[in-house]
Amino acid sequence: MSFISVEKKDSGICYLTLNRPEIHNAFDEVLINELTIFFNDVSSDDSVSAVVMSGAGKSFCAGADLNWMKKMVSYSMEENLADSKNLAGMLSSMNNCQKPVIGLIDGATMGGGVGLASCFDFAVATTRSFFALSEVKLGILPAVISPFVISKIGESQARRFFISGERFSAGKAKEIGLVHEVAETAEQAETMIEEYVKQVMSSAPTARVLAKKLVSKISHELSTDQQKIGYACELIASVRISDEGQEGMSALLEKRKPSWVQGK
């Protein structure tokens, strides 16, 4: 039995749903493996333009499955390390996916669920949603998800919520940058996401892949200003002379739609 459901539309949008509503879409090793495979595959799938991810039922993702946590109690150091690396690998595959990953967050989002939210390129949460990095309440830490969460919300907010484990609202999540928009209802959130998808689909396919890579390179991979400037200059020079860049600039000058939006 699969813990995710996937629906790929002719438009190129792939809808991914966490499908364990009876346990609030909580993580275990099976769900982690399924998500890792999905994001690795979809990243190189030319038929997919973007991914929209949500959770079935009352929660988006309530963190770790209690039955999975029961097994962890008796894990050795080596088993814990392997388990942690699997979770990190899943989050990396999502974070580094070449396709835009868009999130609809409706309901409880705890622990590892906040890790997922931190990997979205665009996220909408409903007002009924709440968030918590509550690992410290259990005597553990949000360690594996920390690189993704800190990158998203910053050191100051991470210190606050990692240490307190307190719950916070969708409004607070927007304020600290975890989500981009807050909707009154799931239906309104879907409308916001549809509008964002339209904007994504009007962007050049290769350019949107490179745009995501640009943010990662400048933010995390290059350390000096000279490296960043050098990379940026080489990148823009190469895309200006690419087929896609030439088509986009020609369309602007000729006052027409570029080829990737014609007929849409």
pLDDT digits (tens, 9 = 90+) for 87-111: 999 999 999 999 999 999 999 999 9
What CA–CA distance (Å, rounded) separates 131 from 177? Answer: 13
> Are the C-beta atoms of 39 and 79 separated by less than 8 Å?
no
- 264 assigned to some structural domain: no
What is the mean pLDDT of the segment spanning 182-207?
96
Same structural domain, 196 and 210: no
pLDDT digits (tens, 9 = 90+) for 217-230: 999 999 999 999 99
The structure tokens listed for 104 are 């609809």
Phi, psi (5° rounding) for residue 247?
-65, -45
Q: Residue 72's pLDDT is what?
A: 79
Tell me the pLDDT band of 69, cut-offs 50, 70 and 90. confident
Q: Residue 242's pLDDT is what?
A: 96
**Could you give the number of structural domains in the chain?**
2
Angle of the 77-95 helix axis to the 29-43 helix axis, nearest 10: 30
Tell me the pLDDT band of 212, cut-offs 50, 70 and 90. very high
Name 105's bridge partners. 125
Q: Strands, E, within the chain: which ranges?
A: 4-8, 13-18, 50-55, 59-61, 101-105, 108-110, 122-126, 130-132, 167-169, 181-183
The answer, yes or no, to whether residue 3 has pLDDT greater than 90, is yes
Given the structure tokens 């087929």, which residue do they identify? 243
Same structural domain, 49 and 169: yes
The answer, yes or no, to whether residue 263 has pLDDT greater than 80, is no
Question: CA of 117: how far to CAs of 198, 235, 249, in Å?
Answer: 21, 29, 35
Q: For residue 93, how many other CB atoms are within 10 A of its CB?
A: 19
Same structural domain, 239 and 160: no
Tell me the pLDDT band of 2, cut-offs 50, 70 and 90. confident
Q: Give the range of the structural domain holding residue 50, as residue numbers without chain letter.
A: 4-200
Same structural domain, 211 and 102: no
> Are the C-beta atoms of 62 and 26 separated by less than 8 Å?
yes
Q: What percent of the chain has pLDDT over 90?
A: 89
Burial class of residue 242 in the structure, from the number of CB atoms within 10 Å of its CB (0-12 exposed, 13-18 middle, 19+ buried): middle
Least confident of 7-11, 151-155, 243-247, 258-262: 258-262
Same structural domain, 71 and 160: yes
Q: What percent of the chain has pLDDT over 70?
A: 98
pLDDT digits (tens, 9 = 90+) for 117-176: 999 999 999 999 999 999 999 999 999 999 999 999 999 999 999 999 999 999 999 999
What CA–CA distance (Å, rounded) separates 85 from 195? Answer: 36
What CA–CA distance (Å, rounded) separates 206 from 48? Answer: 13
Same structural domain, 125 and 219: no
Q: Which of the pair, 73 or 195, is modelled with greater confidence?
A: 195
> Are the C-beta atoms of 188 and 125 separated by less than 8 Å?
no
- 262 assigned to some structural domain: no
pLDDT digits (tens, 9 = 90+) for 16-51: 999 999 999 999 999 999 999 999 999 999 999 999
Identify the CATH number of the domain in which residue 77 sits.
Answer: 3.90.226.10
Q: Does the pTM of the predicted model rise above 0.85?
A: yes
- 165 assigned to some structural domain: yes
Q: Which of the pair, 11 or 127, is modelled with greater confidence?
A: 127
